[in-house]
């Protein structure tokens, strides 16, 4: 026997199955949203934490793509790849210093400590020009 529930639906049993189903869908959507939020937060924290492992501070770089690009170059150079592969060049005023362009605006600066290249910093083109003119590390 079908009966009329207080919600206005008709059906069998003690509860309205249509309303119960709607409720289930709604709460599973909310749970999914919550899970997505938690995942995004975890990804954000992992990204923030990843900077602690960089040999130089890359937090000031404006976007993720640049950070990943610098990391790629740092890892390749640490593996022993030649900086010239990344269009890096030695500075005229201090041949121990090597500048590698990162995108249009940034320069990765390394120092040649007798064969081992030590990352110093990642600067904007402008910072690089002003801070290096007097000769960095002299
Ligand atoms: Zn109902």
Alpha-carbon span 9 to 85, nearest angstrom: 71
Alpha-carbon span 77 to 87, nearest angstrom: 12
Q: Where are the alpha helices (DSSP H) in the chain?
A: 17-50, 64-78, 125-132
Same domain, 19 and 79: no
Mind listing the pLDDT tens digit for each residue in 103-132? 989 999 999 998 789 999 999 988 888 876
Total-model pTM: 0.74
Q: How far is the CA of 4 from the centre of ligand 1 (A)?
A: 9
Strands 89-90 and 10-11: unpaired
Same domain, 72 and 121: yes
Q: Which residue is associated with the tokens 């090597």?
A: 98
**pLDDT at residue 46 above 60?**
yes
The answer to whether residue 112 sits within a structural domain is yes
Mind listing the pLDDT tens digit for each residue in 48-106? 999 999 999 999 999 999 999 999 999 999 999 999 999 999 998 899 999 999 998 99
How far from 86 is each of 36, 102, 116, 124, CA to CA, in Å? 38, 9, 17, 17
3-state secondary structure of 127: helix
The answer to whether residue 108 sits within a structural domain is yes
Same domain, 79 and 122: yes
Q: How far is the CA of 19 from the centre of ligand 1 (A)?
A: 4
Q: How far is the CA of 36 from the centre of ligand 1 (A)?
A: 29
Q: Looking at residue 134, what is its pLDDT? A: 55
* Domain extent at residue 67: 54-132
> Within 10 A of 104 (CB to CB), how many other CB atoms are there?
6
Q: How far is the CA of 12 from the centre of ligand 1 (A)?
A: 11
**pLDDT at residue 135 above 60?**
no
Sorted by sequence, the CB contacts under 8 Å of residue 66 that are 6+ apart come out as 102, 103, 106
Q: What is the CATH number of the domain that holds 85?
A: 3.30.2310.20
Q: How far is the CA of 113 from the centre of ligand 1 (A)?
A: 76
The answer to whether residue 106 sits within a structural domain is yes
Q: Looking at residue 138, what is its pLDDT? A: 42
Total domains, the chain: 2
Q: How far is the CA of 84 from the centre of ligand 1 (A)?
A: 71
Q: How far is the CA of 18 from the centre of ligand 1 (A)?
A: 5
Q: Looking at residue 137, what is its pLDDT? A: 46
């Amino acid at each position: 026997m079908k009966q009329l529930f207080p919600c206005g639906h008709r059906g069998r049993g003690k509860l309205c199955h249509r309303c119960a189903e709607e409720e289930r869908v709604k709460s599973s959507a909310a749970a999914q949203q919550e899970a997505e939020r938690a995942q995004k937060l975890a990804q954000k924290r992992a990204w923030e934490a990843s900077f602690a492992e960089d040999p130089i501070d890359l937090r000031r770089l404006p976007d993720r793509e640049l950070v990943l690009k610098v990391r790629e170059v740092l890892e390749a150079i640490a593996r022993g790849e030649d900086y010239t592969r990344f269009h890096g060049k030695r500075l005229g005023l201090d041949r121990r210093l090597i500048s590698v362009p990162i995108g249009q605006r940034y320069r990765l600066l390394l120092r040649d400590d007798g064969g081992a290249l030590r990352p110093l910093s990642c600067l904007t083109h402008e910072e690089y020009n002003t801070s290096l003119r007097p000769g960095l590390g002299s």
